[in-house]
Amino acid sequence: MGPMQNRIGFGFRPTDARSAVEIIVRAEAAGFGTAWTVMPALGRDTMRLLAAAALRTSTIKLGTSIVPAFTRHPLALVTQALALEDLAPGRLRLGVGTSHQRTMIAAYGLPFDRPLAQLREYVAILSAALYTGRVAYTGAYYTAHAEFPTAPGTPVLVSALRDHAWELAGELSDGGISWITPLAYLTSGAKPAMARGAKRSGRPEPPVVGHVFVSAEPDRGVVRAAVRESLGYYASAPFYQRMFEASGYPLGEGNAVPDALIDALVISGDPGTIAQGLKERLGGGIDEVLIDVVPGPDQRAAENAVFAVVRAL
């Protein structure tokens, strides 16, 4: 694995446990630095999937992008992380986030009036337990008093969308993870916000992991159509609408997704074009990229084409 490959991760949404493990094995063979499992509020439990993948892999880092934090007490997630560290020492990257109001409230009936304040407590407990082996915390949302025999120092990352979340990531976490966010916003909004948060807590600025769609499909129209369909859910969410507008890509009438926004979120074309696009992202202020392969009629073939590019870097 080269230094550039180490900065490239592969993200996917597990549809079943067996295929998820196989994808992670393939991603390791392709040279990806991290395999990121995307977990919706009611998706397959990715901590268990990563435990299975840990026994089939040896070098690739195993990341969650993300575990919806409020679905379990932070100490419960700590116990899962400790088990994964036993199986794959030093390979877990624990990404957590608030998930989305409309799914969390509908599914779990949880309060969602101050999600970032709640996430702040959640991350504080995770980091204390995983870095020091002990936590004594009483907050508005969580109480945690515990000691653990080991403290593996598992990095805790936070998913972030707007400036306040990026500031929290800079202040408390080991990295911020974006989702369908144009590069322009990551460099002009997210990075400065993370720097402010890091400065406030007197710590080094953690890395930004930038999500990007990638496709080896040569027809740009086909790629745009597939990505536009994938963006339907997000285009209807006010918080994503505001982020798109702040990025310089406001949605059209009826929340129509413009081609310019899709083009800002996608790298597609032949292997040379994809490789160049990844290099430009990594050289443009983003510390790591998280590749999301654009859906196609033969998803495994679509993944293999992108994997081949990464393997050749």
pTM above 0.75, yes or no: yes
Banded model confidence at residue 94, pLDDT cuts 50, 70, 90:
very high
Q: What is the pLDDT of residue 292?
A: 98
Tally Cβ neighbours within 10 Å of residue 113.
7
For 10-48, write each residue's pLDDT tens digit. Answer: 999 999 999 999 999 999 999 999 999 999 888 999 999
| 158-191 tens-digit pLDDT | 999 999 999 999 999 999 999 999 999 999 999 9
Convert the pLDDT of each residue in 245-292 to its tens digit: 999 999 999 999 999 999 999 999 999 999 999 999 999 889 999 999
Distances (CA, A) of 2 to 20, 277, 283: 24, 17, 16
- The model's pLDDT over 189-243, given as tens digits with 9 standing for 90+, comes to 999 999 999 999 999 999 999 999 999 999 999 999 999 999 999 999 999 999 9
pLDDT at 73 (0 to 100): 97
Structure confidence at residue 229 (pLDDT): 96
Confidence check: pLDDT of 1 > 70: no
Closest CA to 99 of 79, 116, 80: 116
pLDDT at 108: 79
| pLDDT (0 to 100) of residue 41 | 85
